[in-house]
Structure 1
Amino acid sequence: MSNAHHRKKQPVLVRRQLLDVAARLAAKQGMASVTLDAVSGASGVSKGGLLHHFPTKNALLDALFESLLERFDEELDERMRADPLPHGRFTRAYLLACASIREKRDDSSQWAQVTIAMLAEPRLRERWRQWVRERADEYVGTDSSLDAQMVRFAADGLWLADMTESHEIDATERGALIARLTELTTR
């Protein structure tokens, strides 16, 4: 009898391991490198074990996107809990979370690949649109002003600029930009 029959099953840990491997592959080699064979091989999980959790590559990519979105939501929630001012709280959290992605090495490269995939994949774009709509509805009372919308659009632009490394901006200028945008959320 093989070890697999005696090993304690830990589906949550295996699923997390598979997603982590997929994220690392995407970050290092691009989304095209995230194949079922590559993830299975790099994770040490049999292809059957992988297929148990993710029956298709799309299911794996969707789960990777959802995993990153969950972590993003957790960061937003944490930032909002620390913010005593209700008006614009979600927008400030969104701005600061978007601005900090590049500083988190693993998250930054994972988000870069997923952002590119989101632009190319209609189902991921739709999932992002759904997330944005849900948040807009949830925070309509505190974050629906024109200034708040403008700040969120600016945060998206900052995020895209960070992901594509398209703009050079020194730390002082970046800090001033973020401070000015944060100021707009209090109106």
Structure 2
Amino acid sequence: MAKRESARDRILTAAEAIVVGKGVSSLTFDEVAEQTGLSKGGILYHFASKDALVRAMVERFVYRFETGLAGIEHEDEDPHGRYTRAYVGATLGEAASTGEQYDRLGASITAALSNFPDLLEIVRQQNIRCQAAVEEDGLDPVDATIIRLAVEGLWMAEVFNVMHLDPEMKRKVTARLIERTRASSNRK
């Protein structure tokens, strides 16, 4: 028997759907209540303000990414470049923790960060952790950083609908980035 989603998770899921569909400026407790079947008071019980709800969405977004990345990393038997390969896979791969809905949520949350500058710190800390892990991954730290930045650039271009590579080209670029994690030596 499947575990029933908690009220808090139902609220977050509904809020994410609203943000993806309409943007963070359209996120209201009334609409979340309508989507979840909970009362506005029930929403307020879990989240005292819209800022608190958006913060929880950002935290859950980061948690999902890090959990997906850890799962991919755990499956990789080669320790040399393992984290960097997992980062490529979690961000760009077909088995990514991302997926189209996740990417749309990422774009919506990233755009919303300009309205909630204190939430940038959550994303900043996640990026600091990722960069430190990339630099200590057994690869040349500069090569690993170049790979990470290429991944970030491609993801951002896609989620903000600035550029979409042909699927075959994206597959080849992703494969080449992963290949570079196997070719880079640990010269610091």
Question: Would the TM-score normalized by the shorter structure come out above 0.5?
Answer: yes
Q: Secondary structure at the match of 2:136?
A: helix
> Take 2:112 and 2:143, find their aligned partners in 1: how far apart are those partners?
29
Q: Please tell me the residue identity of whatever aligns with 2:77.
A: P
How far apart are residue 178 of structure 1 and its match? Answer: 1.0
Q: Which residue of 2 aligns with 1:121?
A: 116
Structure 1, 59-68 or 105-114: larger mean CA deviation: 105-114
TM-score (normalised: structure 1): 0.85
Match of 1:15 among 8, 23, 45: 8
Matched with 1:83 is 76
Q: Aligned residue pairs: how many?
A: 177
Question: 1:132 maps to what in 2?
Answer: 127
Q: Using the TM superposition, give the Cα deviation of residue 80 of structure 1 relative to its aligned residue in structure 2, in angstroms.
A: 0.2
Residue matched to 2:32: 39
Is contact 2:103-2:159 (8 Å) kept?
A: yes
Deviates more, 1:35-44 or 1:70-79: 35-44
Q: CA deviation at 1:102?
A: 9.8
Which residue in 2 is equivalent to 1:5? none
Question: Contact (CA 8 Å) 1:27, 1:110: kept in 2 or not?
Answer: yes
Unmatched 5+ residue regions in structure 2?
A: none
Match of 1:164 among 154, 160, 166: 160
Equivalent of 2:141 in 140, 145, 170: 145
**Given that residues 83 and 133 in structure 2 are in contact (C-alpha distance below 8 angstroms), is that contact kept between their aligned partners in structure 1?**
no
Measured after TM superposition, the shift of residue 179 of structure 1 is: 1.4
Q: Name which of 97, 111, 114 aligns with 2:106.
A: 111
Contact 1:102–1:108 (Cα < 8 Å) also in 2:
no
User: Could you say which residue in structure 2 is the equivalent of 1:63?
Assistant: 56
**CA drift at 1:136:** 3.4
Aligned partners of 1:26 and 1:102: how far apart in 2?
19
| CA deviation after TM superposition for structure 1 residue 40, in Å | 1.7
1:185 aligns with 2:181: yes
Mapped partners of 2:134, 2:164: distance in 1: 33
| 1:164 counterpart letter in structure 2 | F
Amino acid at match of 2:46: H
Which amino acid is the alignment partner of residue 132 of structure 1?
N
**Is the contact made by 1:98 and 1:158 (CA closer than 8 Å) also made in structure 2?**
no
Pairwise CA RMSD of aligned residues? 2.2
Shift of 1:92: 1.2
Query: For residues 73 and 103 of structure 1, do their structure 2 counterparts lie closer, same or farther at Cα, with a shift above 3 Å needed?
Result: closer
Report the alpha carbon displacement of residue 57 of structure 1 after superposing the two structures with TM: 0.3
List structure 1 segments (4+ residues) > 3 angstroms apart after TM superposition. 100-103, 135-140
Q: Which of 170-179 and 155-164 deviates more?
A: 170-179
Percent identity reads 32
Aligned mates of 1:57, 1:20 — CA distance in 2: 14
Contact 2:107/2:160 (8 A) holds in 1:
yes
